[in-house]
Structures are given as C-alpha cells and as structure tokens.
Amino acid sequence: MEEEFWKEGGFAKQITKEDMEKRMETFRMGHDEDVNYDCKECGQKISAHNRDWHDCLCDSCFDEKFYGGE
C-alpha cells in the first residue's frame, strides 16, 4: 500500500490550514456539482471539486498529467 501511495505520477499539494478548511466544503461534492469553472489545460467546464482537489483540471487532463492517462 505504501509503495502505491508514492508511485510515480502521484499528486499531493501542500496547503495552509485555512485553505484546507475552505476546500473541505467541496471534498464530497460530485464531479457534476457546481460546474462553474474551467479546466486550466483544455478549457472544459469543471466542478468545484475538481478545482479544489484535482489541480483545476478536468478528470481527463488530471489523469493524463499525473497518471499518464491511466
């Protein structure tokens, strides 16, 4: 399990306590809720969850960037 966590392509980001509290509001939101943001790579509409937890990327761009398109 530990090796899987640290495998190449994993995504982790350091944030402040205040930012974490704000982001927790969108943690359990679906990828189809609050779709008012744009993917920073392709411009596709994304959810608040993707904005906060997927580096402002749509699912496809996130998977490609961090997992090689798996």
Per-residue pLDDT, 43: 97
Per-residue pLDDT, 5: 57
46 forms beta bridges with 37
pLDDT digits (tens, 9 = 90+) for 18-68: 888 888 888 888 888 899 999 999 999 999 999 998 999 999 999 998 888
Per-residue pLDDT, 19: 84
Task: Give the integer Cα–Cα distance in Å for 34 and 31.
Answer: 8
- Stated as kind and residue range, the H or E segment containing 38 is strand 37-38
Task: Give the integer Cα–Cα distance in Å for 23 and 48.
Answer: 9
Determine the residue type at 8.
E
Average pLDDT of the residues in 5-14: 65
| Prediction pTM value | 0.69
26 is written with which tokens? 């969108």
CB 44 within 8 A of CB 58: yes
